[in-house]
Amino acid sequence: MAAIDLAVAAIAGLLALSGVAVALRRYRGVSGFVYAASAALCVALALLGGLVLATRAGPAGLSLPIGLPWIGASLRLDALSALFLVLLGTGGATASVYGIGYGRHEEEPLRVLAFFPGFLGAMGLVLLADDAFTFLMSWEVMSLLSWALVLTHHRAAAAREAGFIYLVMAGFGTMMLLLAFGILAGAQGGYGFDAIRAAARAPATTGVVLALVLIGAGSKAGLVPMHVWLPVAHPAAPSHVSALMSGVMTKVAVYGFVRVAFDLLGPLEWWASPAVILIGAATAVMGILFAVVDGDAKRVLAYSTIENVGVIFAALGLALAFRANGLGALAALALTAAFAHAVNHMLFKSLLFMAAGSVLSATGRRDLDALGGLIHRMPVTAFLALVGVTAISALPPLNGFVSEWLVFQAVLQSPDLRQPALQFLVPAAGGLLALAAALAAACFVRFYGVAFLGRPRSPEAAGAAEVDRWSLGAMAALATLCVLAGIVPGALLDLMAPAVEGMLGARVPAQLGNAWLTLVPVAEVRSSYSGILVMVFVAITASAAAWLVHRLASRRVRRGPAWDCGFPNADPFTQYGSGSFAQPIRRVLGTALMAAREEVEMPPPGDMAPARHAVTTRDLAWSHLYLPVAAAIEFAAARANGLQFLTIRRYLGLVFASLILLLVGLAIWN
Grouping H, G, I as helix, E, B as strand and the rest as coil, residue 615 is strand
Cα–Cα nearest to 430, from 326, 272, 311, 523: 311
Measured from the CB atom, the residue of 29 and 420 that comes closer to another protein is: 420
* Residue closer to another protein, measured from CB, 1 or 553: 553
Binding residues for another protein restricted to 584-623, rule: CB under 8 A: 584-585, 587-588
Q: In the complex with another protein, which residue's Cβ is closer, 561 or 605?
A: 561
Q: How far is the CB of 222 from another protein (least distance, A)?
A: 22
- 539 is a site residue for another protein (CB under 8 A): yes
Separation between Cα atoms, residue 280 and residue 259, nearest integer Å: 18
* 133-162 positions binding another protein, by CB under 8 A: none
Contacts to another protein from residues 13-32, by CB under 8 A: none
CB atoms within 10 A of CB 478: 30
Distance in Å, CB of 296 to another protein, minimum: 19
CB-nearer residue toward another protein: 420 or 605: 420
Q: Does 575 bind another protein (CB under 8 A)?
A: yes
Window 287-316: residues binding another protein (CB under 8 A): none
Side chain identity at residue 185, one-letter code:
A
Please identify which residue in 50, 59, 328, 427 interacts with another protein, judged by CB under 8 A: 427
Q: Which positions from 224 through 263 interact with another protein, judged by CB under 8 A?
A: none
Task: Please name which of 336, 344, 288 lies closest in space to residue 316, comparing C-alpha atoms.
Answer: 336
- Rounded to whole angstroms, the Cα distance separating 262 from 525 reads 30
| Residue closest to 264 by CA, chosen among 207, 315, 220, 198 | 198
Min dist CB 444 to another protein, Å, is 8
From 317, 396, 486, 490, residue interacting with another protein (rule: CB under 8 A): 396
Sites for another protein among residues 433-472 (CB under 8 A): 434-435, 437-439, 441-442, 445-446, 448-450, 453-455
β-sheet bridge partners, residue 600: 613
Position 556 contacts another protein (CB under 8 A): yes
**Residue 108, exposed/middle/buried by CB under 10 A (0-12, 13-18, 19+)?**
exposed
Beta-strand relationship, 73-77 and 60-64: antiparallel
* CA dist., res. 595 & res. 301, Å (int): 21
| Binds another protein (CB under 8 A): choice among 63, 205, 458, 528 | 528
CB closer to another protein out of 281 and 319: 281
Residue 366 DSSP label: -
| Chain length of the chain | 670
DSSP secondary-structure letter at 551? I
The one among 27, 70, 563, 669 contacting another protein by CB under 8 A = 563
CB nearer another protein, residue 197 or residue 526: 526
| Dist CA 316 CA 276 (whole Å) | 8
Element (DSSP H or E) covering residue 60: strand 60-64
Residue closer to another protein, measured from CB, 166 or 529: 529
Q: Which lies closer to another protein via its Cβ, residue 216 or residue 373?
A: 373
Q: Which are the contacts of 200, defined by CB distance < 8 A and separation ≥ 6?
A: 266
Region from 38-46, 59-67, 165-173, 367-375 binding another protein, contact rule CB under 8 A: 367-375
Choice between 525 and 614, CB closer to another protein: 525
- Report the residue number, 405 or 626, with the smaller CB distance to another protein: 405
Q: Report the nearest approach of another protein to the CB of residue 325 (Å).
A: 15
Determine, following the binding rule CB under 8 A, whether residue 512 of this chain makes contact with another protein.
no
- Which residues have C-beta within 8 Å of that of residue 51, sequence separation ≥ 6? 3, 57
Q: Does 583 bind another protein (CB under 8 A)?
A: yes
- Which among 208-216, 262-270, 363-371, 418-426 is the span making contact with another protein, rule CB under 8 A? 418-426
Tell me which stretch binds another protein (CB under 8 A): 204-212, 299-307, 353-361, 575-583. 575-583
What residues contact 26, with CB distance under 8 A and at least 6 apart?
Answer: none
CB of 161 to another protein, least distance (A): 32
Report whether 627 contacts 236 (CB < 8 A): no
Amino acid at the residue 54: A
Residues touching another protein: how many (CB under 8 A)? 86
Q: Which residue of 26, 29, 200, 524 would you call a contact of another protein, by CB under 8 A?
A: 524
Piece of the chain touching another protein by CB under 8 A; list 31-39, 121-129, 344-352, 581-589: 581-589
DSSP states of 477-519? HHHHHHHHHHH-HHHHHHHHHHHHHHHHS--PPP-TTSGGG-B
Site mask for another protein (CB under 8 A), range 74-93, x = bound = --------------------
Residue type (1 letter), 590? G
Q: Which is nearer to another protein, 540 or 636 (CB)?
A: 540
- Work out which of 465, 553, 611, 668 binds another protein, going by CB under 8 A: 553
Smallest distance from the beta carbon of 1 to another protein, in angstroms? 45
| Contact predicate 371/575, CB 8 Å | no
Q: What are the angstrom distances between the C-alpha of 181 and each of 39, 52, 272, 664?
A: 33, 28, 18, 30
Q: Which is nearer to another protein, 152 or 273 (CB)?
A: 273
* Closer by beta carbon to another protein, 76 or else 586: 586
Q: Which of 394, 467, 474, 596 touches another protein (CB under 8 A)?
A: 394
CA gap 299, 305 in Å, rounded: 10
Check binding of 538 to another protein (CB under 8 A).
yes
CB 262 within 8 A of CB 332: no
- Give yes or no for a contact between 578 and 446, defined as CB atoms under 8 angstroms apart: yes
Contact call for residues 336 and 77 (beta carbons, < 8 A): no
Q: What is the dihedral of CA 60, 76, 208, 178, to 10 degrees?
A: 160
Task: Answer yes or no whether residue 580 interacts with another protein by CB under 8 A.
Answer: yes
336, 361, 390, 471: which one contacts another protein (CB under 8 A)? Answer: 390
Q: Is 502 helix (H, G, I), strand (E, B) or coil?
A: helix
The H-or-E segment that residue 76 falls in is: strand 73-77
Closest contact distance (angstroms) between CB of 390 and another protein is 7
Residue 29 vs 560, nearer CB to another protein: 560
Asked whether position 409 contacts another protein by CB under 8 A, the answer is yes
> Cβ 142 to another protein, closest distance in Å?
36
Q: Does 551 bind another protein (CB under 8 A)?
A: no
Q: Which residues 6+ apart lie within 8 Å of 450 measured at CB?
A: 368, 369, 371, 372, 576, 577, 578, 581
